A and B are shown apart, each in its own frame.
Chain A
Amino acid sequence: MEIYDSAVKQSPVISQIKAIYKARNLLKILVTRDMTVRYKRSVLGIWWSLLNPIVTTGVLFYVFNTVFRARMPDNTSFLPYLLSGVLIVTFFNQSLITAADSIAHGAGILTKVYVRPEIFAMSSTLSGAINFSIGLIPLTAVLLINGQHPSFNSILVLIIILSMIFLIMGLALFVAIAFINFDDSRSIITIVLMMVQYMTPVFYPISVLGPNTLRIIKLNPLTSMLINFRSIYGGNGSTGWHMWAYMVGSSFTIFILGLWFFIRAWPKAVAKL
């Protein structure tokens, strides 16, 4: 028999991680729900989730390759460079907002039933990760057409996905609290996300940046993810252990900070839902 005693103080972060682990069954059901709704019951199915990154890539490719006649240095092929960037940024933007909304719009359940809200954010993020993995199919196709063969190192993409999950989860918990507390925070978050997107080398090569800009751009965890991703998936550009360390370290730190903040802010936020 489970006994709940509000007087028993929990050690916050670890006990919440345990609670999330305990709710893994619910997590599985929620992810299955997302996948079923998105793929099984829509006519376009899988293609629908690929539409956004493919169209975005197409437009950007036309603008930079044909209109501006921009050329990448070192004979890097532009299309896979662009597509990998778009895939990473789409994964980030879409999952972050969906995950935050799953909490901010969860009043029907979250104010009635005792369910850790982090589970909802986690399930949205995992669904985003699955979408990203599906996006690897067109990327692989583009690479093969280009004569580049994904190497054995490609398996490291799992570490990138894992870091991304931590990063999105951590940030989504901050954003969810902002959405609940301030009605106008949504427009601010949209602007910030746009800035982050331009601070990620999606369609420009890093080598064109000046030293000061480069320093700022490299602070963005998405930059390290993208550099690592391009390097191991298709072998575009080089990376180093420090890039991997920064990617994993910054993501995990943001996850812990987000969780820590959320646990403190949630009791007040849930009253406003």
Chain B
Amino acid sequence: MTKIPPGEVIVDLEHVAMRYRRTRHRSSSLKQTAIATVKRRLNYEHFYALDDISIQVRRGETLAVLGRNGAGKSTLLRVVARVLPPTKGRVIIRGNVAPMIELGAGFNPELTGVENILLYGSLLGRPIKELRARIEPIAEWAGLTEHLDVPLRAYSSGMVARLAFATATDKTPDLLLIDEILSVGDESFQVKSKERTLELMNSGCAVIMVTHNLASISEYSDRAIYLEAGKIKAQGSSEMVIAKYKSDLKK
């Protein structure tokens, strides 16, 4: 956290484009592809999920990403998470990335709470030694200390979500990716998890947040971009971008 001075650029996207190829015959079977190849009808169409995107996010900043379904928001998160290499342009990420998306994707119902903390934590790239020392605090925060040695299939869905949230947010990353602010568990836990999210966002990491909840944006972030068909349609202060997005929605 103190390794680089506050305000340093964590995410740097320079003219990033992400091009996908999709077949016109809309099928992904080997048989159809073979027939289409023989008939020489296998023409692909290319489309840009992201087109000429240049953004910078500094430490301590929260960037909200707006846009309709299919505008390229998820692709943007994947490119920043290093899952997708860009077709064009350059992506530079300084430091470690923690995605807070689809909590508990790496969980296994047959394993105990402890085993799942270790598994999920290592999937997020944390060393096992470090994780072992964090088991108690994570469980305590999630209110699951007494259930740690029980297999996850005995947990309620709320308990699973709490454990996932607690594990995912245990450490402040350099870059936090949020796909919709998560509200998990019962009401008191929802308050607690919202507090934790805000705490993480304010603890000096860079944040990229995708959301459809326009009301919550100004609460969390001061800067936003608005994507449409892979291009940046508007960027700037949250208020300005939200206003632009709202007026487009009405059209």
Contact = CB atoms under 8 A, between A and B. Distances in A.
Interface residues of B, number: 44
A113 B98 CA distance: 8
Interface stretch (A4-12, A124-132, A162-170): A4-12
B243 interface: no
B115 A112 contact: no
Given A3-B92, A113-B124, A184 B119 contact: no
A267 B28 contact: no
A29 B118 contact: yes
B123 A36 contact: no
A109 B123 contact: yes
Interface string A95-116: 0000000000000111111110
B106 A108 contact: yes
Contacts of B118: 29
A111 B99 CA distance: 11
A41 interface: yes
B99 A112 contact: yes
B182 interface: no
Given A33-B108, A33-B115, A271-B20, A25 B90 contact: no
Interface in B79-120: 81-86, 89-97, 99, 101-102, 105-106, 108, 110-111, 115, 118-119
A113 B81 CA distance: 6
B227 to A, nearest CB: 17
Contact of A183 (B4, B21, B28): B28
Nearest to B75: A271
A171 B104 CA distance: 30
Contacts of B115: 32-33, 36
Nearest to A5: B92
A1 B96 CA distance: 8
B91 A6 contact: yes
A182 interface: yes
A2 B94 CA distance: 6
Contacts of A271: 20, 84
A113 B231 CA distance: 24
A26 B122 contact: yes
B3 interface: yes
Given A108-B102, A109-B106, A184-B30, A3 B94 contact: yes
A110 B111 contact: no
A181 interface: yes
Interface in B1-53: 3-4, 20-21, 28-31, 33
Contacts of B4: 1
Contacts of A25: 122, 127-128
A26 B123 contact: yes
Contact of A182 (B33, B85, B95, B128): B33
A37 interface: yes
A18 interface: no
A183 B27 CA distance: 9
A3 to B, nearest CB: 5
B78 interface: yes
Given A26-B122, A37-B111, A184-B29, A114 B92 contact: no
Residue among A26, A36, A110 with most chain B CB within 10 A: A26
A6 B90 contact: yes
* Size band of the interface chain A makes with B: 35 or more
Interface in A176-194: 178, 181-185, 188
A180 B33 CA distance: 14
A112 B110 contact: no
A170 B79 CA distance: 27
A270 B84 contact: yes
Nearest to A268: B21
Interface string B54-82: 00000000000000000000000010011
A271 B99 CA distance: 17
Contact of A6 (B85, B122, B151): B85
Contacts of B99: 112-113
Nearest to B106: A109
Contact of A185 (B30, B110, B128): B30
A220 B186 CA distance: 58
Contacts of B91: 4-6
B86 A6 contact: yes
Nearest to B29: A184
Interface string B192-211: 00000000000000000000
Contacts of B21: 268
Interface of A: 1-7, 25-26, 28-30, 32-33, 36-37, 41, 108-115, 178, 181-185, 188, 267-268, 270-272
11 contacts: A1-B94, A6-B85, A6-B86, A25-B127, A26-B122, A29-B118, A112-B99, A113-B81, A114-B125, A182-B29, A184-B31
